[in-house]
Chains A and B, each alone.
Chain A
């Protein structure tokens, strides 16, 4: 029990979320923006990311409480704090972690007769975790059922998934016209491990009865699917080497695609949209499914006086009614689908030099305001975030993007991103929830991205 709580709270204490990269999105001085929209208006002759340093990102979020709420060294009994959290959150609250590290990335331009095309490619490692607050089960563990006559404890509250994978990708984007850029990216996923328990249902119900003292019904439809884990329970080899092997396409494989576009209806108005990770992973290796499925009406000991030979078999009968079964059946998981869109209005601010004959809006305008919408599929309701932003070219080598984001984690999420390009060296650092940096233990959500690239642009615009 304590171990479960420990793992749970440690995950929370890392405290982050949601894969929304609202500052990186459409920040076209950074090539990694192509990972949020393969149709981004990114221009380069060629570029490569500094291996392991080109794209590091983490999103951590907990919608119901922060690490401080549980672990604050403030003299309040942890059991009181635990109760406060359980009773102040609900089943819609969630904890999520997403982490990505680019192992390598690069791209080059293919000069066309009329318009340019761009290729980009790379490999990154990703870890995803998401768990909903198992409110009803937490109440059952804290209080028991004595004071909850007639309440249906919903086992559907138990919903969690975790995955470590590597992704190989190859993308292509093309300036169809001066106004329209479209792009697509194919992906091969290699899952190192997966654990998924998101389609549970059932209930535990107790009420007073005129027959026995209570009417008690347990109905369970619980399933936990795992892949890539069982091997390590009794593994003598090097786990690190085995994980690296799985990362190099020897894991459970899947396919995916990203699609996106950028459209300029006017020189100073830009509309973008993308769908990222339309994809699945088929789990066929080291697969294990654990299930608790069945229903049981608990009546206690019932003597059969007529025969003197009761057929009830106590706890065994319960275990037969809701058996713990381990199966080895293949299964499929879908990647969290991400949808991004934005609209941006660009303008000139101040007396900057302007090459106003150039069509490239980046060359004409030094400022922009815009709005973005992010939607991500989750095991339940989609996660949504709305962002407004101000983008400013502070001087030629420095771009700044400031964001305000509204989502289920926070209504005061202010983010700031800086991207500098000194010669061919591009460095970016983006962080959100800046107001929480006063005390990050109280933050419900944090995310950051940073990276280092080498970019060569030709003189052609």
Chain B
């Protein structure tokens, strides 16, 4: 009688487990609401020019120019998901001449979509840094996303003459903080 009880209990237990096992309500439609909001940081631009690079064979070269490619924002993934950008610029000048730094963001047709300009005074023996942060959203950001090149113009302003042995350098560091929303 006792053993019959065990059989009955075991058999019933298994059947009951299978028959009455239940599940909580799961809602797979929630997947529609998944929204990733990562924030990435990266370099935007960099240069470091020594004072003597402004002098060639004893003659000052006052303007330097180049327009390297910068097409990251134009990538399909960024075009779609990039919602806000903060551009950070820092220019550090230890040359005894003042400079202007002009950065023109150009689209594929070489049209300017944004300009960032800085005046950096001549070095006087103390730390000589200029910093700036620009925020882009909505239509301004849409323009920025069209960037394919950044044209850099570094202009040396009048001041004490430089020679090929003049000390110091002018350095630009620029970074971007990209706020993405991926839905």
- How far apart are the CA atoms of A328 and B23 in the complex, in Å? 45
Residues in B with CB closer than 8 Å to A305 are 47, 49, 53, 64-66, 152, 154
Residues in B with CB closer than 8 Å to A54 are none
Residues in A with CB closer than 8 Å to B152 are 301, 303, 305
CB of A13 closer than 8 Å to a CB of B: yes
Least CB distance, A101 to chain B, in whole angstroms: 19
Q: How many residues on chain B are close to A (CB under 8 Å)?
A: 62
Binds A, one of B33-41, B122-130, B136-144: B33-41
- Considering only residues 404-419 of chain A, those with a C-beta below 8 Å from chain B are 416, 418
Partner of A442, one of B24, B45, B49, B70: B24
Known interface pairs A79-B35, A143-B38. Does A350 touch B3 (Cβ–Cβ under 8 Å)? Answer: yes
Binding site for A on B (CB under 8 A): 3, 6-7, 10-11, 13-14, 17-18, 21-28, 30-31, 33-36, 38-49, 53, 64-72, 74-75, 88, 90, 148, 150, 152, 154, 173-178, 180, 182-183
Known interface pairs A79-B35, A305-B49, A439-B22. Does A300 touch B42 (Cβ–Cβ under 8 Å)? Answer: yes
Are A303 and B26 in contact, CB atoms less than 8 angstroms apart? no
- How far apart are the CA atoms of A438 and B24 in the complex, in Å? 9
Are B10 and A416 in contact, CB atoms less than 8 angstroms apart? yes
- How far apart are the CA atoms of A240 and B41 in the complex, in Å? 48
Are A300 and B43 in contact, CB atoms less than 8 angstroms apart? yes
Residues in B with CB closer than 8 Å to A213 are 41, 43-44, 46, 88, 90, 173-175
Partner of B23, one of A350, A398, A431, A440: A440
Which residue in chain A gives the minimum CB-CB distance to B77? A1
Residues in A with CB closer than 8 Å to B65 are 303, 305, 308
- How far apart are the CA atoms of A304 and B49 in the complex, in Å? 10
Least CB distance, B30 to chain A, in whole angstroms: 4
CB of A314 closer than 8 Å to a CB of B: yes
Are B11 and A418 in contact, CB atoms less than 8 angstroms apart? yes
A-B contact pairs, 21 of them (CB 8 A): A5-B31, A5-B34, A6-B31, A73-B24, A79-B36, A141-B36, A147-B39, A212-B43, A212-B46, A299-B46, A300-B176, A301-B46, A301-B68, A305-B53, A305-B66, A310-B67, A316-B69, A350-B3, A418-B11, A437-B18, A441-B23
Residues in B with CB closer than 8 Å to A398 are 7
- How far apart are the CA atoms of A308 and B22 in the complex, in Å? 71
- How far apart are the CA atoms of A374 and B43 in the complex, in Å? 51
Least CB distance, B20 to chain A, in whole angstroms: 8
Residues in A with CB closer than 8 Å to B13 are 416
Least CB distance, A407 to chain B, in whole angstroms: 20
Least CB distance, B79 to chain A, in whole angstroms: 12
CB of A37 closer than 8 Å to a CB of B: no
Are B173 and A145 in contact, CB atoms less than 8 angstroms apart? no
Least CB distance, A331 to chain B, in whole angstroms: 30
- How far apart are the CA atoms of A416 and B174 in the complex, in Å? 65
Are B21 and A71 in contact, CB atoms less than 8 angstroms apart? no
Residues in A with CB closer than 8 Å to B33 are 77-79
Residues in A with CB closer than 8 Å to B183 are 2
Are A140 and B38 in contact, CB atoms less than 8 angstroms apart? yes
Are A144 and B26 in contact, CB atoms less than 8 angstroms apart? no
Known interface pairs A299-B46, A434-B17. Does A146 touch B177 (Cβ–Cβ under 8 Å)? Answer: yes
Q: In the A-B complex, list the 5 residue pairs whose CB atoms are closest, starting with the nearest.
A: A213-B175, A144-B38, A300-B43, A303-B66, A314-B69
Are B26 and A145 in contact, CB atoms less than 8 angstroms apart? no
Are B69 and A214 in contact, CB atoms less than 8 angstroms apart? no
Known interface pairs A77-B33, A79-B34, A213-B173. Does A313 touch B26 (Cβ–Cβ under 8 Å)? Answer: no
- Considering only residues 70-84 of chain A, those with a C-beta below 8 Å from chain B are 71-73, 77-79, 82
Partner of A438, one of B22, B31, B154, B182: B22
Known interface pairs A140-B38, A142-B38, A441-B24. Does A301 touch B44 (Cβ–Cβ under 8 Å)? Answer: yes
Residues in A with CB closer than 8 Å to B22 are 438-440
- How far apart are the CA atoms of A316 and B70 in the complex, in Å? 10
Are B70 and A68 in contact, CB atoms less than 8 angstroms apart? no
Beyond A298-B43, A438-B22, 17 extra complex contacts between A and B, CB < 8 Å: A71-B30, A72-B25, A77-B33, A79-B33, A146-B39, A147-B39, A212-B173, A213-B41, A301-B44, A302-B47, A305-B66, A309-B66, A315-B72, A394-B7, A400-B10, A437-B17, A440-B22
- How far apart are the CA atoms of A82 and B30 in the complex, in Å? 11
Residues in A with CB closer than 8 Å to B178 are 144
Residues in A with CB closer than 8 Å to B47 are 302-303, 305
Known interface pairs A145-B41, A301-B45, A305-B65. Does A214 touch B175 (Cβ–Cβ under 8 Å)? Answer: yes
